[in-house]
Amino acid sequence: MSGRVIVITSGKGGVGKTTTNANIGTALARAGKKVVMIDTDLGLRNLDLLLGLENRIVYTIVDVVEERCKLKQALVKDKKNPNLCLLAAAQTRDKSAVTEEQLKDICEKLKKDFDFILVDCPAGIEQGFQNAVAGASEAIVVTTPEMSAVRDADRIIGLLEAKEEIKSYKLLLNRVRPNLIKSNDMMSVDDVVEILSADLIGIIPEDTGIITSTNKGEPIVNDEKSLAGKAYNNVARRIIGEDVPFLNLEEPQGVMAKIKKFFSGLTGKEK
């Protein structure tokens, strides 16, 4: 087996890297793939929380590097899906505790046993980013339709293009709000794609379900009804190589939206 190493990065913090990682990882595992996620955000780990695995961590990536345990011992199995593992970051150390070479080495070893190695990258473009990218050959750049996130994504894309090991990168547009786009208060998907001139791998709508799913430590892809969950599932299918059309986010979803539509339809005020 020779797994694909995909780094999930963004430059800017808070755009949904870790959420994206948890959901794509879970979705790939649900599709029957063997997946391991590496949290490289040393000192600020969170992937464990989103997966609800925070109480199961015994060893971290730093323990592996400093040879206090074997690589396999440090892999935490997911509660539900035996195909899914997490290699957690150390919470008490900083980015210098692991080097680019060491991360590359860990990725190489994991490639033998897993179909997908998803690397959760810290925010920023410093050493933490360099480490996370070191072992990867593909990248997913997460951004939102906000100026600061798009600008940082552009910077990240520039850095990725300069890296020989990165063979391809794709754009994932997160926290899209169709209503705001409709009222011209948010840049559209096309706007962002045009500005960054990058290939799109997913459009994820803003979804309050993400908050509750994070609260529970349960990725939203497990929720069949969630639109964001569906969108993440589609991203996973595209990664596997399926040709999946992008979700139509234009149609209002949910009961409130339907009521709204009904009323505005009555008065003909609907734009």
Partner 1 sequence: MILANLYNKVLGFFRQTEKEAEESSKDTARNRLRVVLMQDRTNLTPELMERMRKELVELLSKYVEMDKEALELNLEQDGEQVALMLSIPVIRAKDEDEIKAALEADEKEEESSEDEEDEEEETETGSEDDEDLDDNSEDKDNSEEKSEDSDEVKDSDKKE
Contacts to partner 1 by CB under 8 A: 146-147, 150-151, 154-155, 158, 181, 183-188, 191, 195, 197, 260, 263-264, 266-267, 269, 271
When the beta carbons of 41 and 206 are compared against partner 1, the nearer one is 206
Please list, in sequence order, all residues whose beta carbon lies within 8 angstroms of the beta carbon of residue 265, skipping any fewer than 6 positions away. Answer: none
Shortest gap between Cβ of 183 and partner 1 (angstroms)? 5
3-state secondary structure of 76: strand
CA dist., res. 50 & res. 215, Å (int): 8
Tokens of 193: 């794609």
Tokens of 165: 């090991």
Question: In three state form, how does the secondary structure of 85-120 look?
Answer: EEECCCCCCCHHHCCHHHHHHHHHHHHCCCCEEEEE
Shortest gap between Cβ of 196 and partner 1 (angstroms)? 9
When the beta carbons of 11 and 229 are compared against partner 1, the nearer one is 11
Tokens of 94: 């900083």
CA dist., res. 7 & res. 94, Å (int): 19
Segment (H or E) for 143: strand 138-143
When the beta carbons of 112 and 271 are compared against partner 1, the nearer one is 271
Shortest gap between Cβ of 160 and partner 1 (angstroms)? 14
When the beta carbons of 75 and 160 are compared against partner 1, the nearer one is 160
Shortest gap between Cβ of 144 and partner 1 (angstroms)? 12
When the beta carbons of 1 and 266 are compared against partner 1, the nearer one is 266
Shortest gap between Cβ of 173 and partner 1 (angstroms)? 14
When the beta carbons of 112 and 269 are compared against partner 1, the nearer one is 269
Segment (H or E) for 203: strand 200-205
* Cβ-contact 127, 94 below 8 angstroms: no
Pairing of strands 138-143, 168-176: parallel
Q: Enumerate the H helices of 135-253 as residue ranges.
A: 147-161, 178-182, 189-196, 209-216, 227-240
Shortest gap between Cβ of 260 and partner 1 (angstroms)? 7
* Cβ-contact 24, 228 below 8 angstroms: no
Shortest gap between Cβ of 149 and partner 1 (angstroms)? 10
When the beta carbons of 243 and 250 are compared against partner 1, the nearer one is 250
